[in-house]
Amino acid sequence: DQQVKQNSPSLSVQEGRISILNCDYTNSMFDYFLWYKKYPAEGPTFLISISSIKDKNEDGRFTVFLNKSAKHLSLHIVPSQPGDSAVYFCAAIWSTSGTYKYIFGTGTRLKVLA
Amino acid sequence: DGGITQSPKYLFRKEGQNVTLSCEQNLNHDAMYWYRQDPGQGLRLIYYSQIVNDFQKGDIAEGYSVSREKKESFPLTVTSAQKNPTAFYLCASSMKGIRGYTFGSGTRLTVV
């Protein structure tokens, strides 16, 4: 059972426009969410995170929104740039006994068209 | 520069052979992890280790083995028992109690 779902495997956006990547989760115990960006043949790199007690976190062109009632989070990239073309993974975390446990979504491939 | 290094980047294995993937970090991180990435399936946890000489099975540990004899090193052995080993393997590390992972650049294993 996939507890973290990214239902769109791919997304194409024109350069300069907004990219919106979505992630749905099922477990209310998750207390932190992260987005990672991954280029082909490389490891993922951390992009932005949000605590479950917040509903928005912004870092430059990247904003993550959390809707707890809908168990939904989204990553907005404005304006989108060709270098943003990558696979984006959302991850949900819950803590137990001082340890953090991760679940990753399946990823969304973003293509920004010049 | 501190970081996490995986080697080799590409690895070919004949069926029936065991093969070991290397993961070394100089970040002084306590915890290390091995993930496998397959198309359309995201990242799935194979094994993780919170401290030296201790490790736990993840979601898909069958056919894999690990060791954690040093804090810096967490090698993964893909055994002949792993039925579908062709994949991209990612190693990650983190400080205990810290949420963010640092990932290595990955090893692509292909069975020929």
pLDDT tens digit string along A25-84?
998 888 899 999 999 888 999 999 999 999 999 999 999 999 999 999 999 999 999 999
Share of chain B above pLDDT 70, in %: 96
Tokens of B15: 């069926």
The CA distance from B16 to the nearest CA of chain A, in Å, is: 25
Q: How far apart are CA A15 and CA A112, in angstroms?
A: 6
The CA distance from A18 to the nearest CA of chain B, in Å, is: 24
Q: pLDDT per residue over B44-89, tens digit each?
A: 999 999 999 999 999 899 999 999 999 999 999 999 888 899 999 9
Closest partner CB to A9 (pick from B40, B44, B98): B40
Contacts of A45 in chain B (CB under 8 A): 103
Q: For residues B4 and B25, is the Cβ–Cβ distance under 8 A?
A: yes
Say whether A46 and B41 touch across the interface (CB within 8 A).
no
Q: How far apart are CA B16 and CA B55, in angstroms?
A: 25
